[in-house]
Amino acid sequence: MERTLSIIKPDGVSKGLIGEVIGRFEKAGIKIAAMKMLHMTKDEAKGFYAVHKDKPFFDSLTDFMSSGPIVVMVLEGENVIKKNRELMGATNYKEAEPGTIRADFATDIEKNVVHGSDAPETARTEIAYFFSELEICD
Ligand code: IDP
Ligand code: MG
């Protein structure tokens, strides 16, 4: 069993896509092991995306991620890191496979509806950024 962090970004929440995104996870047989809604401060967004601190889009990305509420989830299942990335589609929605969340709903390379961890180590750090072990249901 593997865990990954999923985020429905501010654009996804404001467009009313919470149910749609969670429905796709459930239909794919992915278990939601933890979930909450919160509104990050700019500093919290900077901490979460620290790996991108030298990228030209860092300031805009952290403004966007702190612009409204988000839904953060721990997803659990076999191979769930890769499965979630497949359901999400490519970072750039124009390159995302048809039928993926980003191909269907993203409007911008930045405002691309969802986040998903990309590897076991990043999944561990990203989950710990938002959840204590007590908040994750086994
Ligand atoms: P990922 O979310 O598919 O893992 P990353 O490369 O980790 O993509 O980038 C993190 C987030 O930063 C993306 O989801 C997107 O919101 C934003 N982003 C990535 N590349 C660009 C870009 O070239 N311009 C603007 N925003 C970007
Ligand atoms: Mg990434």
Token duo for residue 41: 């401060």
| 57 CA → ligand 1 middle, Å | 8
Tell me, using a 6 A CB cutoff, whether residue 109 lines ligand 1: yes
Quick: pLDDT tens for 4-36: 999 999 999 999 999 999 999 999 999 999 999
If we measure between CA atoms, which residue out of 58, 55, 40 comes closest to residue 126? 40
Q: Of residues 9, 24, 46, 115, which has the active-site annotation?
A: 115
Q: Alpha helices of 18-79 — where are they, by DSSP H? A: 18-27, 42-48, 58-65
Q: Are the CB atoms for 75 and 33 separated by under 8 Å?
A: yes
**Does the annotation mark 52 as catalytic?**
no
Ligand closest to Cα of 126 equals: 2
List pLDDT tens digits, range 88-97. 999 999 999 9
Residues 19 and 121 sit within 8 Å (Cβ to Cβ): no
pTM, two decimal places = 0.98
